[in-house]
Structure 1
């Protein structure tokens, strides 16, 4: 029986499985000599240097070496079968099967968190009508500019977020002509009703979250952390009930309109985890002379006269 450890050698993520395969044109996958296989310590050292592996103790290093040897043997045995694919060593070659599954696989059927309502309604999968004869012989959206560079989820079971975001990045480019890298971290942090961050989730629920949130932030605005963080998307244009007895000061930094609601953008001083990354949009044009929360009643601003250098 082939050792289960081999699954950790490398991964090809699909929605229904995780498997290992490298294209046979890569010469490194068939470059292991009999000496390497008989005494792989030298290969382990060079592999460790290539992937920047550092271990906390000699004991851990020995344990990783044993896993490495088992994975290497599986690679050699698989490649000798001369199938349609070839295996090779990558950064996961010292990771055991169960450890790999726990750390890097995150596709899960929707399971609500404790106390969360069941809100998902099943929908039918829709195919666009296309005659078989009209389909191109092959398609590769990478060469059509609809795929962002490969990202790294790290030791976080967030593959569901990466899969969802990659699909939205692609369809956005196909429709608009603009390829924008979007935020997986927003899904990990904020899509938490039925999805579970680094503990797993599903793509259809991620799509529902993005639709309900009227989109998703760019990766530059909400970068990936390889771990769960605080949701920075308490968002919207605020027009709720609040006192006009002033007890806090903010700074107006701009104004705009969103879905027919005019607003003033206010910079707060409670850190980036509050509001919209530290800001709040307050509705204007409500007909109240004092403004929402009384923001017009004590406004002030500085001025600075222009001066010449050296004056």
Structure 2
């Protein structure tokens, strides 16, 4: 007779309690990050929003408190485009341990010209990937202090069709905004998987999981004034798209499960169940190009050289 699991089926609308735990969500003031923070707040955990804009962060925390009774939510200033500032984030958190960080914040540009961070890195690659790479280094002592912490990296379905140009990571030779964005998210996903391999090799209890939201549209996202307001007209015109994609509240589900579900393992990829575009979260097969550890190793070395730090050097 086979053993019967005592764990109930995962329900995106009935999350397990996480009282006493502390979660950091980068870019938690808007978009998918906001809904990750709102959903995690409903578990009783302390949720910290990392945001470069204090006004937007204040609006997001107020919105969550209005919707989640007793929400333990606050914000810290976090600018992923400013690498030197990231080492101060640990002190600003004012906690002894961190149970999870969701690397969600990102920049997406639609048009040229190419822009750079203050450190001289292409803006999307520098913010989306290098910023999170460096932030993980500074957070690692707090993550290591938790009994089973998780680093959850938010990738993108746009990365599935992209490949990294390791000789032009900064898109100096050939800059195309949508491609550069997709490659920056692919770099994040390679990083999340490489991080888990290095954590395991070091015998760390911290685990790294990669997720993606599938197709997540503003027009299918429920209103959260003033964070997001969806006009009735947008809801009606977007209705046919709901057959294939979803709103950003649902795009948050894979990240939320990766934080909370003890069945999720390090090194996994989680995304929406239906064609990777919509539906409840599932563990999906690793994309073929993400399994290339040689690309990940070269990206890691380049990221270490560009930031001056590396997460595995900060392991406790």
TM more than 0.5: no
Larger radius of gyration: 1
Q: Could you state the TM-score of these two structures normalised by the residue count of structure 1? A: 0.21
Whose helix fraction is larger, Structure 1's or Structure 2's?
2
If asked which structure has higher relative contact order (CA below 8 Å, sep 6+), I would say 2
Q: Could you state the TM-score of these two structures normalised by the residue count of structure 2? A: 0.21
Whose strand fraction is larger, Structure 1's or Structure 2's?
2
